Amino acid sequence: MKFFVDTADVKDIRECQEMGLVDGVTTNPTLIAKSGRKITEVIKEICSFVEGPVSAEVAALDYDGMMREGDVLRKIAKNVAVKVPLTVDGLRACRKLSSEGTMVNVTLCFSAAQALLAAKAGATFISPFIGRLDDINLPGMELIANIRQIYDNYDYQTNILAASIRSVNHITEAAIIGADYATAPPAVLKGLVKHPLTDKGIESFLADWKKTGQTI
């Protein structure tokens, strides 16, 4: 599984990159708003040091508007993936942009049927929102499993990008099911390294090492 860090904070991205946790970046209007910066400025800076796909989302809801904004975003850098919502106009924009060689991330997916449409439209990535489904007592992981089966049945090349990740368990379960990517906030990605038994083991080793009186 590959990891995308879900943030527009350049400092956080660099920190995760130093840990080998950054295969790409996803942003959205909420994250851009938190940064307090212009979207074109933020995306350009991120693309300057991240080699993998960097998702930048359109704000328009109509086809013409999406195409206009998508054209601005994809000109920022070659590794920009234009992010569009899973709507009729979003699928139209996806088909057009992908046919022109632009990576497209179709977001806000909540059903396997929607994911099927995105694949047929040529999406590079489909972003099923696990956490938001869990929030309304629907099984987010079941959606990942259903999409995986459908894509494998018909050899669709669209990558499953597990999104709305809330915990380390979300990432682990999505990886077991076969999601190609997971995008998560920096804190969740860093949390992958943590385990109480690791901490306990380190504490024990250090105590024993201290008893030897040695230094290295």
Q: Which residues are catalytic?
A: 83
Distance from C-alpha of 200 to C-alpha of 60, rounded to nearest angstrom: 51
Distance from C-alpha of 125 to C-alpha of 105, rounded to nearest angstrom: 5
Distance from C-alpha of 111 to C-alpha of 95, rounded to nearest angstrom: 19
Read off the amino acid at residue 109.
C
Tokens 């508007």, residue?
A: 65
User: Which residue stretches of 36-167 are H helix?
Assistant: 39-49, 63-74, 88-99, 112-120, 130-135, 140-154
Helix (H, G, I), strand (E, B) or coil at 86: coil
Q: Which two tokens stand for residue 63?
A: 């086809």
Tokens 């359109």, residue?
A: 58
